[in-house]
Structure 1
Amino acid sequence: MTKLNLRLPDDLYTRAKALSAADDRSLNSWLVSLVRRAVEDGERRFAQGG
């Protein structure tokens, strides 16, 4: 597994932390799920030629 340092504006960090807590997940786990979804969506769009 690769480690990544991510700098977020304070307001975005606070909002993301609150949403991850509401989803009963760590911020890291929540962010991984969002990045995974975005990558999969991007791959699907690319495979469809658009």
Structure 2
Amino acid sequence: MLEIEKITLKNKIVDKDNYFEIGYCEELKIYMMHVLFFGLLAIIDIIK
């Protein structure tokens, strides 16, 4: 019984880490898209 609880706990911890990494990557991707978008707008404005 103790072995099963250890395994379950390990899996939960791994899932939490993966979830955090996925969430962080998504936020970073959205942030980078905003930076690129506004950067391009600024460059287009300068070219005009």
Q: How many residues align?
A: 27
Q: Report the structure number with the largest CA radius of gyration.
A: 2
Which residue number in structure 2 is paired with residue 36 of structure 1?
29
Identity level (%): 0
Moved over 3 A (4+): none
Higher normalized helix content (fraction of residues): 2
Structure 1 residues 1-50: aligned runs within 5 Å: 26-49=19-42
The 2-side partners of 1:31 and 1:49 are apart by 27
Structure 1 residue ranges without an equivalent (≥5): 1-20
Unaligned runs of 5+ in 2: 1-15, 44-48
